[in-house]
Amino acid sequence: MLFNHKITVYAIIFLCHQFLFSQDKLIPKDSSTVLSGIVTPPKNKTAKFFHRLVFKPAKSQKIKKKIIVPKHLKVEGKIIRNIIITTLDPFGYSDSDIDKIPKNWSERTGNRAHLKSKKIAIRNLLLFSKNKRYSLLEIKESERILRAQNFINRVTITEKLAAPKSDSVDVFVRVLDSWSSIPKFNISNSKTGLGLKERNFFGLGHQLDYYYSNRKSDGKEANNISYLIPNIKNSFIRTEVKYSVDFDRYYSKGITIERPFYSPLTKWAAGIALNQNYLKDSIQDVEENYISQNFKYNNHIFWAGRAFRIIKADTITERTTNLIIAACFSNLNYLIEPSETLDPTDFYDSEKLLLTGIGINTRQFIEDRYIFKNGQTEDVPVGRIYGITGGYRYKNSKWSPYLGAQISFGNYHSWGFLSTNFEVGSFFKQAKKEQSAISFQANYFTNIIEIGNWKFRQFIKPQIIIGINREKSLGDLLTINENNGIQGFNSPVYGTQKLIFTLQTQSYSPKSIWGFRFNPYFNYSIAVLGNKNNPIHTNKTYSKIGIGAIINNDYLVFSAFQLSIAYYPNIPFQGDNIFKTNAFETTDFGFQNFELAKPKTISFK
């Protein structure tokens, strides 16, 4: 218990440290960032309170800034007369240079085999429209949303006055496609597989992913298919249908219809998810032996949220700061569950969960390069979240209240980028905490370090999760397997406390070969599990050392793949001094998006 209190105190101290440092002046990356720093304090007392809570206080000390030539004209508020959309094949063209065209046979041949994006697919992703007033924030957000699509490589939006002193403006949207079709093929001694991943089906931006496999020993087949419609007529409602069945006829199927808070300017969001899963998993009996058990359950989720502007002002910071109110209802219904002998605590029992959330979030995006891509524009989320979640769960014939809170920060500083997320939550039974969790995570990367023509960054990611009064069930314990800890690590070791620390040194190659860039990296991960009787600091650590090359391609729909080798000193029940290839992907260091949306309990895996 003393250890838990220490960890909590350390996390709070770190949060306070981050809060103080988050007052540092943001170093702008482009003209839109300069605009976002202009904040006029409101006069209303209530508005002043929220302003002090969310926005950064202005400093009297002047900071030298790099002079940046604005990419956009100063036409704020003018009427948009026309929107001219140009879509380009992936090879030999440029989104910014209209004179650049394919010059060789391979580029022209590749373009002929590619189906170009339809203009309607691009128009449906724009936040501005014809005959409406021009807003630079909506232009920048539209660029970001377009860049986030898998089938788009680069995008440039420019404007031109209809006449020298005209009150109307023409907007030009120029989009460079990615190569979107990726075949999948696999042959081994045990099975054969064939599939296709298409990220721009018929040029509409729809995504089709299909994979078929055949097991040689008995001729049984497995299928996995999904189809995604990312947007329906500019509504930003995304619909995805999934179905997969394995060799032993275990399956997963579902449909999700959702409109997220896709932009800080979004006023409402909602979603429906209907899923059914039939699977086999291991569960421990009373003697702690692992027993294979069939599970089958339906999971239905319904949620909705509304965003309200806190302060009515035209500055970008205040336009992207909202009060979010949301509610969520989920119904988990087990059709096949373990017997009472295998599950004496009824952990695998049907449950209903009703949650509501309220919070304040501010969210902007800074354009940067050389983070997860090699030289392409990347949109880095910065912002803050203050959120509270409350509700009730009905399980095992009783209602249990839930209360949780979240505080998040993320920003650029003179010494690099840092984002942190702190969450605490618990169910209650007769005023006693049960299934409580404390979670803290930070993501840090340095500024670009240049050595000759090469560029480098250092990434650091610590994470700690502490469970208190968790259920005595394998399903309510933490692991450090794969995405939940160390990539490539898979072993039945569990705990109610988890500490993970990951380092990665990433390089960015100055040269490319046929569009491919080989970017060497070094990665080190260490993790430890603990529980109430055996705290983290007394237990054995598990680690991984990896080296390899992240291979980027400027034209393909997948951002990167890799060649790598990883060394594991020990994996329980597998052995010591284990080497694995292609065991790690850099998606571990993803951005925190600072989106406050569907209320949820703390993830405990």
Same domain, 124 and 158: yes
Q: Is the pLDDT of residue 70 over 80?
A: no
Same domain, 102 and 168: yes
pLDDT at 53: 53
**253, 288, 289, 372, 395 from 282: Cα distances, Å:** 21, 11, 9, 36, 22
pLDDT at 383: 95
Number of domains in the chain: 3
Cβ atoms within 10 Å of 77's Cβ, excluding its own: 12
Q: Is residue 362 part of a domain?
A: no
What is d(CA 236, CA 301) in angstroms, rounded to the nearest whole number?
A: 19
pLDDT at 5: 45
Same domain, 110 and 142: yes
Q: Is the pLDDT of residue 58 over 80?
A: no
pLDDT at 401: 97
Q: Which domain holds residue 213?
A: 180-234
Residue 126: pLDDT band (50, 70, 90) is very high
pLDDT at 316: 85
pLDDT at 557: 57
Mean pLDDT of 493-502: 95
Same domain, 147 and 219: no
Q: Is residue 99 part of a domain?
A: yes
Residues 592, 593, 596, 602, Cα dihedral to 10°: -30
Q: Is residue 25 part of a domain?
A: yes
Residue percentage of the chain with pLDDT more than 70: 86
Residue 590: pLDDT band (50, 70, 90) is confident
Asked which of 234, 250, 266 is the last residue of a domain, the reply is 234
Q: Is residue 565 part of a domain?
A: no
Asked which of 128, 158, 176 is the last residue of a domain, the reply is 176
Same domain, 144 and 160: yes
Q: Is residue 537 part of a domain?
A: no
pLDDT at 17: 45
The per-residue pLDDT for range 375-427, each reduced to its tens digit, is 889 999 999 999 999 999 999 999 999 999 999 999 999 999 999 999 999 99
Q: CATH number, domain at 108?
A: 3.10.20.310
Residue 315: pLDDT band (50, 70, 90) is confident
Q: Is the pLDDT of residue 161 over 90?
A: yes
Same domain, 189 and 145: no
Asked which of 150, 176, 202 is the last residue of a domain, the reply is 176
Q: Is residue 147 part of a domain?
A: yes
Higher pLDDT, 340 or 332: 332
Same domain, 96 and 149: yes
Higher pLDDT, 30 or 304: 304
The per-residue pLDDT for range 392-401, each reduced to its tens digit, is 999 999 999 9
Q: Is residue 115 part of a domain?
A: yes
Same domain, 149 and 214: no
Same domain, 24 and 92: no
Residue 423 pairs with which residues in a beta bridge? Answer: 406, 439
Residues 145, 147, 149, 154, Cα dihedral to 10°: 150
Residue 52: pLDDT band (50, 70, 90) is low
Residue 324 pairs with which residues in a beta bridge? Answer: 307, 359
Same domain, 167 and 205: no
Same domain, 117 and 165: yes
Same domain, 85 and 149: yes
Q: Is residue 41 part of a domain?
A: yes
- Give burial (CB, 10 Å; 0-12/13-18/19+) of 199: buried
The per-residue pLDDT for range 340-367, each reduced to its tens digit, is 888 888 999 999 999 999 999 999 999 9
Residue 556: pLDDT band (50, 70, 90) is low
pLDDT at 588: 54
